[in-house]
Structure 1
Amino acid sequence: MRKTAATRSRSSAWSTSSASLGTRRSASAPPRRDTGVTGPVAAGMPSVMAEKAPARPARDSTENVRRLVDRAQAGDREALEELYLLHFDRIYSYLHVSVGNRHDAEDLTTQTFLRMLESIKRFRWQSAPFSAWLFRIAHNLAMDHFRAARRWQPEEDVPEPPGESEPSAEAQALQSIGRQSLLELIEDLSPEQQQVLTLKFVFNFTNADVATILGKTEGAIKSLQHRALVSLQKQLDRA
């Protein structure tokens, strides 16, 4: 049985990143105990990943992630691997959506986690969650990729739309059409508008988190979202 693309990407990204920093287990490390995990998944996973872990509720909860980050900053390899496992799928999915092909997404995912390993000691808890910090690394790498191909054109600032106490009709419509339909609809939007809607409606980040990831103000994010939703509403009306 062959590995799935996701399994290959996950094991390759971590192996490359950890090897680059010299964090592989030494040859004298004790043999891995039998975990009951067999086949291609176990074969492609680092030892900590393949071992059965006790059930833990809310592995991605803020409290648990904070503990893992604290341990990782102190040099705990298992905490680094756990952070990798918690965030790999979303980072890979985001990059795949952003760049449009698996090969580049795999390469950028590897680079993202290498950057995480290199810079996690400099991470500081502020208003945004750890995931937003990690997505910002991924976003910056994707933008470098686009700039190299001369495909990225940032939009000029536009006035912030009026504040809304309730979600707009356009936003409610988007939330009801599903992930795949949304990704198809936004293909004709500007790259920055695509990024905002993808991060908000596919990955469920707040305006503040999206602002952190994209390196913009919340007002700019609201402006981009407003313009994108107006464009999409016109598409839906024509359908």
Structure 2
Amino acid sequence: MDRRPGEPELRQWAAAAVDGDPVAVRALVRALQDLISAYCRGRLHQLGHGVADDVVQETCIAVLRRLAHLVETGQPMLPYVFRVAQNKVADAFRDAVKRSHQQLDDTVTQLRDIAPGPEDAALRGDLARELARALAVLGEREQEVVGLRVLGGLPAADVARILGMTEGNVRVTQHRALAKLRTELAPVQGPATA
């Protein structure tokens, strides 16, 4: 796809899919996967692409299960799809925490066997801590906007519909959030050279 499908295309495919059109089902699933994969990967990057891919599939399944209701009620698709994706991302983090407690001993043993040298590990750990610290400075709304716009690659109009904001407010929020990140990360990057 050269461009992201909008609400009208999603609704058209959804209506045809509910009527049993297999081509429409494939087109809708492909569009949903394209819309949410970057968002899920951006939010779940620390858990790996496999988890993000699973969340994308779970989101598509959840949307397909409610498809007849969405078509019948005329509920907007994009906000619903991203709300489901947000919930599935949260579920993935909860599951990861549960699994991490159960697998901690195995993980430590495996990391000792394949861990890079102490210098690489220290640098990577420092960078990850700095990025996490910088992102923690952002409010939840700013994190959502940055995630959808920068990581998800969505246009401001789509993000505005998803988050219930104006398009201008999305752009201002993104600008301010990125400025905060630049300020927070400036000491890590070092002084700028001319």
The one of 88, 105, 110 equivalent to 2:57 is: 110
Q: Deviations over 1:43-65 (max 9, x none)?
A: xxxxxxxxxxxxx9978355433
- Give the one of 3, 11, 29 matched to 1:84: 29
- How far, CA to CA, are the matches of 1:59 and 1:87 in structure 2? 10
Whichever residue aligns with residue 180 of structure 2, its letter is S
Could you say what the CA RMSD is over the residues aligned between the two structures, in angstroms? 3.7
Q: What are the superposed Cα offsets for residues 40-88 of structure 1, whole Å, 9 maximum, x if unpaired? A: xxxxxxxxxxxxxxxx997835543332122123232321111111231
Q: TM-score, structure 2 length as denominator?
A: 0.57
Q: Give 2:135's match in structure 1, choosing from 170, 189, 196.
A: 189
- Give the alignment's TM-score, normalised by structure 1: 0.48
Distance in 2 of aligned mates of 1:88 and 1:199: 14
Higher relative contact order (CA 8 A, sep 6+): 2
Aligned CA distance change for structure 1 residues 212 and 145 (closer, same or farther; 3 Å): farther
Aligned positions of 1:228-239 closer than 5 A: 228-235=177-184, 237-238=186-187, 239=189
Q: Secondary structure at the match of 2:20?
A: coil
What is the Cα deviation at residue 224 of structure 1? 6.3
Separation of aligned partners in 2, 1:194 and 1:111: 23
Measure how far apart 1:186 and its partner are: 5.9
More helix by percentage: 2
Check the 8 A contact 1:96/1:102 in 2, yes or no: yes
Give the paired residue count.
145
Q: Indicate the residue corresponding to 1:133 in structure 2.
A: 80
Say if 2:150 is the partner of 1:201: yes
Higher mean C-alpha deviation, range 140-149 or range 79-88: 140-149
| Gapped regions of structure 2 (runs ≥ 5) | 98-129, 190-194
